[in-house]
Chain A
Amino acid sequence: MTSASMAAARTTDVMTGRVPSGKLGIWWFLASEIMTFGGLLASFVLCRFKAGGWEEQAAHVSTGIAAFNTLLLVTSSLTIVRAHAAAERGEREKAAKFLLYTVVLGLSFLSVKAYEYSGEIAHGFIPSAGLFWSFYYGLTGLHALHVFAGIVANFALYVAAHRVAVWPKVQQRVEYAGLYWHFVDIVWIFLFPLVYLS
């Protein structure tokens, strides 16, 4: 299928209201992810109200570092949506450029997170140091794993964008990768105030 015919097919999807199976699949997956993270966040809130000494432990996390990480992730949402828009316009090289920006921003997020973890572990705040720290490492670690998975997907698309023969078959996947990446961003949008600001 050529780029032009794929774009025509997508336009038909939009006009008929038919959802492409790939998009349906990613939305089903995201629905299950909402329940996974939602359950964890609800457990966090419940335990926070019930367990004592929580605020003393939470006072040791770095709000400044986490705010910087939030900025990185929000900016990566901008770059991935622009990659999506470029892919739909058939601008392969521009899509590749924005995919690369997203990968770099994702790696920066993980690097900052690793720096943050190392400081906390050096001060003895390991997962077994208390209930807050168990939740902290569980929630942020699971989120970081999702960021890593998104980086792998975005990088695979970046590589595919450099192969002219392959690109028409995979260019629609930029939208799917973008949906996943935005979801990861939304999870962090709630994790940040929950863990660092409250």
Chain B
Amino acid sequence: MTAESHHPSYLTIWIWLVMLLLVGLVVFLLPIGKAMAIFLIFAVAAVKAFLVARYYMHLKSETVLVLAIAGLPVLLLIGMALTLVPDIVFNH
């Protein structure tokens, strides 16, 4: 997809990415529970990855074929992670 046809301000996305980086660091330093901190840190990372994929890689306006090629391995990964959860939970 063309970069010009659908992009918001790339600088705005960059500012969001930097702000989210700082949020992740603040959460890391906050005296909150470890499980909650890890959850928040990875939620912030997921949002950052989403912003890069959607706006910098232009997945927002890509064809179904490209979305399928990009999405299928991500779904497989999520499936693999879910499959590993019982192993982690019951053997830890």
Q: Which residues from chain A sit less than 8 Å from chain B, CB to CB?
A: 10-11, 14, 17, 19, 23-24, 27-28, 30-32, 34-35, 38-39, 42, 45-46, 49-50, 63, 67, 70-71, 74-75, 77-78, 80-82, 84-85, 88-89, 175, 178-179, 182-183, 185-186, 189-190, 192-193, 197-198
Give which listed residue, B4, B14, B52, B92, contacts A85 with CB less than 8 A: B4
- Using A50-B92, A74-B18, A84-B3 as known contacts, say yes or no to A182 and B66 having CB atoms under 8 A apart: no
List of A residues within 8 angstroms of B7 by Cβ: 81, 85
Contact across chains for A63 and B45 when beta carbons are under 8 A apart:
no
Interchain CA distance A46-B87 in the complex, whole Å: 8
Q: Provide the bound-state CA to CA distance between A88 and B5, in Å.
A: 10
Instruction: Determine the main DSSP class of B at the interface with A.
Output: helix
Nearest-neighbor residue (CB-CB) of A190 within chain B: B45
Pair A71/B72 contact, Cβ less than 8 Å: no
B77 touches A34 (CB 8 A): yes
8 closest Cβ pairs, A-B complex: A38-B77, A34-B73, A85-B3, A78-B14, A193-B41, A27-B69, A84-B3, A197-B28
Interface size classification for chain B? 35 or more
Are the C-beta atoms of A193 and B45 separated by less than 8 Å? yes
Give Cα A69 to B17, complex, Å.
13
Question: Which B residues touch A23, using CB under 8 A?
Answer: 66
**In-complex Cβ contact of A38 among B52, B80, B88 (8 A):** B80
Which residues on B sit within 8 Å (CB–CB) of A46? 84, 87-88
A14 touches B52 (CB 8 A): no
Contacts beyond the supplied A75-B14, A78-B10, A85-B10: 19 A-B pairs with Cβ under 8 Å: A17-B63, A19-B66, A31-B70, A34-B70, A34-B73, A38-B73, A46-B87, A50-B92, A71-B18, A74-B17, A74-B18, A80-B56, A82-B10, A85-B7, A89-B4, A186-B52, A193-B24, A198-B38, A198-B42
Shortest CB distance A155–B (Å):
20
**29 A/B residue pairs, CB under 8 Å, sorted by A:** A14-B1, A19-B65, A27-B70, A30-B70, A31-B69, A34-B73, A34-B77, A38-B73, A42-B80, A45-B81, A45-B88, A49-B92, A63-B28, A70-B21, A71-B18, A71-B21, A74-B18, A77-B17, A77-B52, A78-B14, A81-B7, A84-B3, A85-B7, A175-B3, A182-B56, A189-B45, A189-B49, A189-B52, A192-B24
